[in-house]
């Protein structure tokens, strides 16, 4: 009988998690490096994860986690492999800890998971579902983001003739706002067995289907059994059908609001343009005031942010003291650390930072407070990441050109916010 602790490189997500898209095949994890992203209508004729559960590729992928790996895990799981080598705690480790950690939120389901992996696994057993809204609508234009996640950034790229962040074709003659039809009723059977429902965007709180799904969980009388996980930029709390997110939170077992920020304070407004820090912080406080709700601040690790993570830790610390609890938390995430994590030449990768600027940032890590070192154990890995990653001159140039074009279009000034970069900004 397979025991989780005895497996060489195990991840529970292919067994217990599904991510639902409208236009690509359902995935088990949000950071799979490659997945069949061709139209699901052509490849699988369905987007229902329960119907795809026994497709050959899905079955083989799961089995590799029980047998020490294989070609599919080598192909799809490179993000976690590289994260575990160089960056913060990987997605695999985080999800595994939910089952095996002393205080893991899925600890009570560990025996169920072990029982499941020792069966034929022919029937799906989803405990969590991440719903990727069928729209890329977002009100922000974050520099390191991509047009498939932000309609505003897609429109900006189209207006100034830029390639998107992932090196794809220009968006000329293509719509900035992408919208697919979805009927959330299709997920009723999955919802009935979930212990965790995750909602993302675009901007999650600005997309109607996310509210429809929360309402469906309430109507089925299953919301009380599941944790709600929402990722948001924290700038908007609109109403749909007369209800906002605060009307839904009390119906769930508990809630985690992950507020995406890049800096603590007004610097955040630059890279998450055109957000206003005051509004973001005010909404974070409103989330924290909700019953059974935890607020987490999540930050991408990229060329512009990695030197300022200690300041975010300080901000989280001060805010947590106000609440006198862990209702306020933080996570120094690394999904946008560019060429290291994704391997696709994102110009905002840490490899775009010149060596002299890295020295400035590394000194900040040595000077960071005890809270950073205690709460964010990955701080040392991030320091080593800065120290060890080679400088990519071409990516650096691409990033500076991208910044200058966006400054001109937005009426912003990069060096007013990041004076340490001035010598490189002026060279172009």
Q: What pLDDT digit, counting tens, does each position of 348-406 carry?
A: 888 899 999 999 999 988 887 776 666 666 677 778 888 888 899 999 999 999 999 99
CA 135 – CA 192 distance, rounded (Å): 25
Mean pLDDT lowest for which of 50-64, 75-89, 146-160, 175-189?
Answer: 75-89
pLDDT of 251 strictly over 50: yes
What CA–CA distance (Å, rounded) separates 132 from 213? Answer: 11
For the segment 9-24, the average pLDDT, to the nearest whole number, is: 88
Answer yes or no: are the C-beta atoms of 153 and 223 closer than 8 Å: no
- Alpha carbon distance 417, 160 (integer Å): 22
Average pLDDT along the chain: 85
Cα three-residue angle 169-132-176, rounded to 5 degrees: 35
- Per-residue pLDDT of 315-339, as tens digits, reads 888 888 888 765 665 554 433 333 3
Q: Are 312 and 263 in contact (CB under 8 A)?
A: yes
Determine the average pLDDT of the residues in 255-275.
94
Over residues 15-28, mean pLDDT: 84
Supply φ then ψ for residue 110, to 5 degrees.
-60, -45
Domains and CATH numbers, the chain: 4-126 (no CATH), 151-426 (3.20.20)
Confidence of residue 42 (pLDDT cuts 50, 70, 90): low
> DSSP state, 377?
T
Q: What is the pLDDT of residue 384?
A: 82
* Least confident interval from 71-75, 221-225, 273-277, 402-406: 71-75
pLDDT of residue 40: 56
For every residue of 54-89, which 3-state class applies, written as one string? CCHHHHHHHHHHHCCCCHHHHHHCHHHHHHHHHCCC
Cis peptide before 11 (omega within 30 of 0): no
What is the per-residue pLDDT for 410?
97
b/e code 174-213 from CB counts within 10 Å (16+ = b):
eebebbeebebeebeebbeebbbbbbbbbbbbbbbbbbbb
Give residue 24's pLDDT.
73
Give the residue, 383 or 96, on which the prediction is more confident: 96
- pLDDT above 80 (res 45): no
């Amino acid at each position: 009988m397979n025991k989780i602790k005895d497996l060489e490189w195990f991840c529970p997500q292919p067994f217990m998690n599904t991510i639902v898209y409208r236009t690509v095949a359902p995935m088990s994890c949000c950071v799979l490096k490659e997945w069949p992203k061709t139209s699901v209508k052509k490849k699988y004729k369905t987007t229902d994860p329960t119907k795809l559960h026994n497709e050959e590729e899905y079955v083989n992928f799961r089995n590799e986690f029980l047998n020490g790996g294989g070609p599919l895990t080598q192909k799809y799981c490179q993000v976690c492999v590289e994260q575990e080598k160089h960056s913060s705690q990987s997605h695999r480790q985080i999800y595994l800890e939910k089952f095996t950690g002393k205080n893991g939120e899925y600890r009570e389901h560990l025996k169920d998971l072990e029982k499941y992996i020792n069966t034929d696994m022919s029937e799906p057993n989803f405990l969590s579902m991440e719903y990727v809204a069928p729209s890329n609508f977002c009100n922000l234009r974050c520099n390191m983001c991509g047009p498939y996640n932000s309609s505003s950034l897609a429109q900006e790229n189209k207006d100034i003739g830029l390639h998107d962040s992932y090196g794809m074709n220009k968006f000329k003659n293509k719509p900035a706002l992408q919208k697919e039809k979805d009927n959330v009723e299709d997920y009723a059977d999955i919802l009935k067995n979930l212990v965790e429902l995750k909602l993302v965007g675009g901007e999650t709180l600005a997309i109607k289907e996310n509210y429809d799904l929360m309402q469906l969980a309430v109507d089925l009388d299953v919301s009380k059994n599941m944790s709600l996980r929402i990722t948001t930029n924290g700038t908007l709390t609109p109403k749909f059908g007369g209800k906002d997110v605060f009307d839904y939170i009390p119906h769930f077992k508990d809630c985690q609001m992950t507020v995406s920020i890049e800096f603590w304070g007004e610097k955040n407004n630059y890279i998450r343009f055109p957000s206003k820090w005051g509004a973001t912080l005010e909404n974070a406080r409103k989330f924290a005031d909700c019953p059974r709700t935890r607020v987490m601040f999540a930050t991408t690790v990229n060329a512009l942010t990695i030197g300022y993570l200690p300041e975010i830790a300080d901000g989280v610390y001060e805010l947590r003291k106000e609440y006198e609890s862990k209702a306020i938390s933080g996570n120094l995430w690394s999904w946008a650390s560019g060429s290291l994590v994704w391997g696709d030449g994102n110009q905002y990768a840490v490899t775009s930072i010149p060596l002299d600027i890295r020295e400035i940032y590394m000194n900040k890590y040595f000077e960071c407070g005890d809270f950073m070192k205690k709460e964010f154990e990955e701080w040392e890995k991030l320091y080593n990441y800065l120290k060890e990653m080679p400088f990519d001159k071409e990516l650096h140039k691409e990033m500076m050109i991208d910044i200058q074009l966006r400054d001109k279009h937005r009426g912003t000034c990069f060096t007013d916010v990041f004076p340490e970069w001035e010598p490189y900004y002026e060279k172009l």
